[in-house]
Amino acid sequence: MKKRYYNSETKEWYTEGSTMTRRVDNGVFSGIPSAEQLYEWGFREWVEPTPTPQQLLDKAKADKTAQLQAYDASDAVNGFDVVTGSNTITAWLTPEQRANYKNSLDSAEILGMDKVHPVINGMTFELQVATAKMYLAQIQIYADKCYGTTETHKADINALETVEEVDAYDFTQGYPQKLVFNV
């Protein structure tokens, strides 16, 4: 690992082995300075301060929360399966997509249409309007439950008191079972 140096007067950083250009008494220095030159110019070797127990706990919580958010955004949570014959596709609808489909289904219902043809992951399906509305409602309730589970996990992580508790915390538990639609 390369040493780092810091000059507290000029607020400059220097990393060992890097080229530096600097004004000196007899002109300009350009090159890789020695430790003695750095010391003469006011640089001191930077020693990373030892983190406090609270800083370690805060970092562990932040790391665990970032892992939770990545899990929450993954197919493990954001997904449902559509089964057509022997094919299964995993898909997800964002809140915007769900709102658009809801508008389309409401419009189809108002116009007295019996069937709609939603497109999921590039595949078109034929569904009764009532069935499509039920599927969409199930997806929305599933998404709400997942959101609530994620928020509960965030609060639980934040309430933990030791790094060991944070490391042991399993945020993959408590999510509802993924939806499966047979079309």
Q: What is the pLDDT of residues 13-54, one digit of tens each?
A: 999 999 999 998 889 999 999 999 999 999 999 998 999 999
Look at residue 72 and give its three-state secondary structure. helix
pLDDT at 85: 87
In the structure encoding, which two tokens stand for residue 105, read together? 């289904």
The predicted structure's pLDDT at residue 43: 96
Of 81, 75, 58, nearest to 161 (Cα)? 58
Q: Encode burial over 37-67: b for 16+ CB neighbours within 10 A, e otherwise.
A: ebeebebeeeeeeeeeeeeebeebbeebbee
Comparing CA positions, the residue from 173, 182, 129, 133 lying closest to residue 152 is: 173
Q: How far is CA 6 from CA 12, 17, 24, 37, 53, in A?
A: 6, 14, 18, 13, 25
Residue-level pLDDT at 70: 97
- pLDDT confidence band for 144 (50 / 70 / 90): very high
60-101, pLDDT tens digit by residue? 999 999 999 999 999 999 999 999 888 999 999 999 999 999
Mean pLDDT on 99-116: 97
- pLDDT for 26 equals 85
